Amino acid sequence: MQEAMIKRAKELLADGTVDRVMGWKKGEFSYDHTPAVFTSAQELDENFVCDDFTSANLSKYLVKETVRDGKILAFLKPCDTYSFNQLVKEYRIDREKVYVIGIPGGPKLDIEKIRAKGITGILNIRNENYTLKIETIYGVSEMPFYEAIGVKCESCKSKKHVVYDELIGEDGEVLDSNRFDMVEKLENMTSQERYDFWRSELSKCIRCNACRTVCPACTCEKCVFENPDSGIENKAAADSFEENMFHIIRAFHVAGRCTDCGECSRVCPENIPLHLLNRKFIKDINSLYGTYQAGENTTDKAPLNEYKMDDCEASIVHERGAE
Amino acid sequence: MQRIGVFVCHCGTNIAATVDVKAVAEALGHEPGVVISQDYQYMCSESGQYLIKDAVKEHSLTGIVVCSCSPRMHENTFRKAAAAAGLNPYLVEIANIREQCSWIHKEIATATEKAIILGRAAVAKVHLNAPLTAGESPVVKRALVIGGGIAGIQTALDIAEAGFEVDIVEKEPTIGGKMAQIDKTFPTLDCAACILTPKMVECAQNDKITIHSFSEIADVKGFVGNFTVTIKKKARFVDETKCTGCGLCTEKCPMKKVPNEFNMGLDNRTAVYIPFAQAVPKVAAIDPDYCLMLKNGKCGVCSKVCSVGAIDYKQTDKFVEEKYGAIVVATGFNPIKIDKYEEFAYNQSPDVVTSLELERLMNAAGPNGGTLLRPSDKKHPHTIVFVQCVGSRCDDENGKPYCSKICCMYTAKHAMLIREKYPDTEVYVFYIDVRTPGKNFDEFYRRAVEQYGVHYIKGMVGKVTPKSDGKLDVQAADLLANEQLHIDADMVVLAAAIEPDKSARPLATMLTTQMDTNDFFTEAHPKLRPVESATAGIFLSGACQGPKDIPETVAQASAAAAKAIGLLCKNSITCNPCVASSDELMCNGCSSCEKVCPYGAITYIDKEFRMPDKTTRIRRVASVNPAVCQGCGACTVACPSGAMDLSGFSNSQIMAEVDAICK
């Protein structure tokens, strides 16, 4: 796969279709790849990587890239194409300036899941028939592949690319995912249990802002949390309630636009299941206004941006609201 | 430094009985920036206003908080008082301590505490108020009346009389509405058609009035003084400009088995039809559901017989766009469907009819030429039972909770007319109450009882059972005599509840007007602004606002016309300066605001910006047209980056209020 991608990227660079390539570059270790822009065949050969650890969603980087002149090639996994579409819809990405190659999706691995098994000093990880051979400074460890897949891949919603100029590999289908199971579990809790759950999760937050930085729906020119005029800028953690509110405010900001790409939970150093907040919104939107998938296309009106005759009445929301 | 004056109103005992106003004035006097805080019995009175004006001058106030009733009542009063004292009127804030406090609380301690909190929020907000200046916007001197029943007709005639152009949009092929179907009118018993049709003709003949019949409202944009309305002219397959209404096509049409809606389906009409003899416009329409030519492409008789070539099978729906300064809603009512009341055997026997069906059965243009005959065997009925309140004042979901208001009177009318014309017919009326408030109404009802010998029985009909001999067994309770009754009736007449026309709700959405839970339009104030909707420039006429009889409908129709004329007389209206604007540096260009704006006030432009690194960049940013913006604030909520803000209700002002409340 990686070879095919590098080959195609070089061709497109050579024939002038694109000037730059958006992909992932190798990190210091075999599991810490990061998004990167490549401009030459040499760079591609040296650093381009696509494997079980290239889970980062590249769509958001295209917001900045398409402000620049020229055209860029982007390799997008199925889940990333939803974010891409959503950003095109919001006029954040200039579609004309991107050449999209759809590539097969995950499941991708999460290094934290491997570390959680007590495996440390990791040097290299190989996937042999869905068993991970993990080379460490202490010797070789093994674990099943599926026990190490990332949270976002555990409940994959779609293997289908909703946008591409060409595909490498096969296109898949929208999946019947179990992604709302945990939301349902939370809904069935008493309000005290739910409050306790979120307090215990959100109080771990160190306000590193990684979730916001990585989120493809968070592309504001000036984030309200960084705007002194907004009244809710990065306040010192004077009281824990404000810290907790950060995530709830952020979930409201991306409601109806979040494609459920799962990047927020993937990057959280404290492993807070932030995606559950967004999924609760998605589930409610689906049940109140009919099934809607943000980023499925660039034309559908978003339920929270549209008024229809058959929209549910406020009184119904009220009835369903409190327990 | 702000210098804020706080004025706490007693509103007689309205506020002062539940809120300790002195304590509120005292507490708010300690809020930051407050230099004077006092209470007074009636702030809205002349002397109350002087209190404010004097304080502005004496204490050089920079902001005013009035703790009183809803801003919908007196915000304007206090703004004018401030302006008179030289203070910008938008530096006045109202804390509603009446509707939102004293009226809904019983405990003085809690109500007082809440009043202080509401006042504190208003003080926090007024700290951030900025002086605003209102602009002006021109008024299009043309009115739209939606609905061509007696309400719409009267409103249109009155507006035209004042010299303004007015369009009537009617969904049926003719104007006239329900009144055209009615036989006689209470309490005078004059013929409905005799008093209605001259008005219909007047509409047609008036140069100022344009009738869009067989048309519906497809879209409404804009705002008071400047609405843009798209009217859908439904295909009638007859060229309105050519048809002379000769009726030859209706005579020759071979498709004669179409239920005639004008006669409530009690007889048939042809596929090409003119609803009734006095229809306005007197133009035929082809019913595409029954026309053989339109369905199968075989027939074309009407086209052959039409001497002026008015038939056009290829006609399609047309959309026309018009501009209006004022819109009057007159969408009227319909009787409810009574299929769900199985106990009355409406679906089982043709001799159980609704009151509107009885109107047609008794009407000279009706199915029996004006002779009252049983629908089943066309025989003269000797015993007729009327049932009142079918679906009115009803607790279950089949009916309506309200009183339909007109049924008591029209039933008395029916009973009287039947006894007058057919003295050998016994008439029974089963009622819960007989309600006759209105000029000459009770006299009318008493005539039915005393002079015409109609049997009024307090009690409800439990069951109507069709019998094998064609009679109807009516089982009922006489509550005053406390006995069960069985009446062998020839006919049963059900006074079905009335409900707003089904077109009203989608229309309310388009007009951004409010409705109650029964889909009646809500007036701006139930007592003081009964013919205006809460949306500026939209007025209410007739039964769309609530059940009404003809005299009341006509009175309200003229009142609505007067309000519309008052608006159309102005060359321009003062705009609301509380409009949205976008901070271009923060705008992402995502179009969220554009999508939620109900007024189409937001457009996007590509604009060149100098970036901090001294490069230039073209960015897509939102731009608000302040003349079109109505200050609803939907955009400020939709904007993900907080770039959109509303003057007078800025995000920071609202946050300050929330902070003050949560302190």
Cβ neighbours of residue A178 closer than 8 Å, sequence gap 6 or more: A155
Asked if B585's CB is within 8 angstroms of A222's CB, the reply is yes
Q: Which residues of A touch B598 (CB under 8 A)?
A: 307
b (16+ CB within 10 A) / e for B51-68:
bbbebbeeeebbbbbbbb
Count the helix, strand and coil residues of chain A and give each as a percent rounded to the nearest 5. 40, 15, 45
Please determine, for residue B52, whether its predicted confidence score (pLDDT) is greater than 60: yes
Q: Write the pLDDT tens digit of every residue in A229-260.
A: 776 776 655 666 666 788 988 999 899 999 99
Taking an 8 Å cut-off on Cβ atoms, the answer to whether A304 and B638 are in contact is yes
- What integer pLDDT is reported at residue A183 of this predicted model? 93
How close is the nearest chain B Cα to the Cα of A301, in Å? 8
Q: How far is B289 from B272, CA to CA, in rounded Å?
A: 11
pLDDT at A239: 64
**Cβ-proximal residues to B180 (8 Å cutoff; 6+ apart), any chain:** B174, B192, B193, B196, B197, B200, B262, B276, B278
Any CB–CB contact under 8 A between B300 and chain A? no
**Six-digit token string for A31:** 């599991």
- For residue B605, the distance in angstroms to the closest alpha carbon of chain A comes to 12
Cβ atoms of B94 and B75 within 8 Å: the answer is yes
CB contact under 8 A, B592 and A301: no
**Burial level of A311, CB count in 10 A (0-12/13-18/19+)?**
middle
Looking at chain B, the whole-number percentage of residues with pLDDT higher than 90 is 88
pLDDT one-digit tens code per residue, A30-63: 888 999 999 999 999 999 999 889 999 999 999 9
CB B472 within 8 A of CB B351: yes
Residues of B in contact with A226 (CB under 8 A): none
Q: CB contact, 8 Å: A305 with chain B? A: yes
Amino acid at B410: Y
Other beta carbons within 10 angstroms of residue B307's beta carbon come to 9
Across the range B344-369, mean pLDDT stands at: 95
Q: Quick one: closest CA in A to B587, which residue? A: A221
Average pLDDT of the residues in A271-285: 93
pLDDT at residue A316 tops 60: no
Q: What ipTM, to 2 d.p.? A: 0.83
Q: What is the pLDDT of residue A241?
A: 64
Q: What residue of B is the nearest CA neighbor of A86?
A: B590
In angstroms, the separation between the Cα of residue B33 and the nearest Cα of chain A is: 21
Nearest to B520 by CA among B536, B553, B542: B542
Report the pLDDT averaged over residues A207-236.
83
**For B157-183, what is each residue's pLDDT tens digit?**
999 999 999 999 999 999 999 999 999
Chain A residues with CB-CB distance to B642 below 8 A:
224, 227, 230
Distance CA B271, CA B238 (A): 12
Give chain B positions within 8 Å (CB) of A230: 642, 651
Interface subset of A 196-225, CB within 8 angstroms of B: 217, 219-224
- What are A37's strand-pairing partners? A22
| B235, B173 contact by CB (below 8 A) | no
Among the partner-chain residues A90, A231, A309, the one whose CB lies closest to the CB of B591 is A90
The H or E element that residue B303 is part of is helix B301-305
Q: Best residue in A221, A298, A318 to probe B by mutation, most B CBs within 10 Å?
A: A221
What is the identity of the amino acid at B599? Y
Is B642 in Cβ contact with A227 (below 8 Å)?
yes
Contact B586 A306 (CB under 8 A): no
Give the integer Cα–Cα distance in Å for B95 and B657.
11
Q: Which of B505, B518, B585, B588 to mutate to test the interface with A (most CBs of A within 10 A)?
A: B588
Question: Per this entry, what is the length of chain A?
Answer: 323
CA distance A258 to A262: 9
Question: What is the distance in angstroms between the Cα of A187 and the nearest Cα belonging to chain B?
Answer: 26
Is the separation of the CB atoms in B495 and B386 below 8 Å? yes
Task: List strands edge to edge, sheet with B352-354.
Answer: B352-354, B491-496, B383-390, B426-431, B455-458
Residue of B nearest to A222 (CA): B586
Cβ contact, residue pair B655, A231, below 8 Å: yes
Interface test with A, best of B595, B609, B613, B635 (most A CBs within 10 A): B595
Query: Do B521 and B545 touch, CB atoms closer than 8 A?
Result: yes
> Is pLDDT above 90 for A130?
no
| Spatial distance between the Cα atoms of B329 and B217, rounded to a whole number of angstroms | 11
B589 touching A, CB under 8 A? yes
Question: In terms of Cα–Cα distance, which of B536, B567, B579 is closest to B134?
Answer: B579
Cβ of residue B593 closer than 8 Å to a chain A Cβ: no
Nearest to B586 among A221, A301, A304 (CB): A221
Instruction: Classify the phi-psi angles of B642: left when phi > 0, otherwise alpha if psi is within -120 to 50, otherwise beta.
Output: left
Residues whose CB is less than 8 angstroms from the CB of residue A277 and which lie 6 or more positions away in sequence, other chains included: A247, A248, A251
Among A110-114, B90-94, B310-314, the range scoring the smallest mean pLDDT is A110-114
Q: Distance between CA B346 and CA B340 in Å, rounded?
A: 9
Tell me the pairing of strands B483-489 and B472-478: antiparallel
- Give the whole-angstrom CA distance, residue B44 versus residue B9: 8
For residue B535, pLDDT over 90 is answered with no
Residue A236 has what pLDDT?
Answer: 54
- Alpha carbon of residue A146 to chain centroid: 19
Encoding tokens for residue B524? 């701006």
**Chains A, B: CB contacts under 8 A, how many?**
60
pTM above 0.80, yes or no: no
Reading the block at residue A207, the tokens are 């306000």
Biggest CA–CA distance in chain B, Å, is 100
- Is the pLDDT at A275 greater than 60, yes or no? yes
The pLDDT assigned to A237 comes to: 58
Asked if B531 and B559 count as a contact pair (C-beta separation under 8 A), the reply is: yes
Query: How much is the pLDDT for B351?
Result: 96
Average of pLDDT values for B562-572?
97
Task: State the Cα–Cα distance between residues B73 and B75, nearest whole angstrom.
Answer: 6
Q: What percent of chain B has pLDDT over 70?
A: 100
**pLDDT in the model for residue A288:** 85
**In B, which residues are within 8 Å of A67 by CB distance?**
617
Contact residues for B397 (Cβ-Cβ < 8 A; gap 6+): none
Say how far apart CA B198 and CA B211 lie, in whole Å: 15
Q: Please check the confidence at residue A141 and state whether its pLDDT lies above 90.
A: no
Q: What is the pLDDT of residues B509-530, one digit of tens each?
A: 888 888 998 999 999 889 989 9
Tokens of A43: 């760079």
For residues B628 and B323, the model is more confident at B323
For the four alpha carbons of A88, A94, A99 and A103, in that order, the dihedral sign comes to negative
| Chain B nearest CA to A63, separation (Å) | 11
| pLDDT of B63 over the 60 cut | yes
A301 touches chain B (CB under 8 A): yes
Locate A293 and state its tokens. Answer: 């998938």
Residue pair B18/B105 in contact by the 8 Å Cβ criterion: yes
CA atoms in the 13 A half-sphere facing the CB of B291: 23
Q: Do B598 and A307 touch (CB under 8 A)?
A: yes
Quote the pLDDT of residue A123.
Answer: 85
User: Can you give the pLDDT at residue B614?
Assistant: 86
User: CA angle, corner B380, sides to B376 and B381, nearest 5?
Assistant: 80
* Confidence at B222, pLDDT banded by 50, 70, 90: confident
Q: Which residues 69-88 on chain A approach chain B with CB closer than 8 angstroms?
A: none
Q: Return the SS3 of A193.
A: helix
Tell me the chain B residues in contact with residue A93 when contact means C-beta distances shorter than 8 Å: none
Indicate whether B210 pLDDT > 90.
yes
Identity of the residue numbered B636: T
Q: Which residues of B touch A302 (CB under 8 A)?
A: 595
Q: What is the per-residue pLDDT for A229?
A: 76
Q: Report which of A92, A84, A32, A73 is spatially closest to residue A266, judged by C-alpha positions.
A: A32
Quick check: A318 pLDDT over 70?
no
> Is the pLDDT score of A315 beyond 60?
no
Is residue B464 over pLDDT 80?
yes
Chain A CB within 8 Å of residue B650 CB: no
What's the mean pLDDT in A280-294?
Answer: 91
pLDDT at B642: 87
The C-alpha of B645 sits at a distance from chain A's nearest C-alpha, in angstroms, of 11
B58/B50 Cα distance (integer angstroms): 12
- A305 to chain B: closest CA residue: B596
Q: Which residue has the tokens 């048309």?
A: B215
Rounded to an integer, what distance in angstroms lies between the CA atom of residue A149 and that of residue A108?
A: 6
Looking at the complex, report in whole angstroms how far the Cα of residue B31 sits from the nearest Cα belonging to chain A: 21
Pair type for strands B580-582 and B644-646: antiparallel
Give the model confidence (pLDDT) of A85-116 as tens digits.
999 999 999 999 999 999 998 799 999 889 88
Closest residue on chain B to A232 (Cα): B655
Angle at B125 between CA B121 and CA B126, to 5 degrees: 120
**Chain B neighbors of A221, CB-CB under 8 A:** 585-588, 641, 643
pLDDT at A170: 85
How far apart CA B386 and CA A147 sit, in angstroms, is: 77
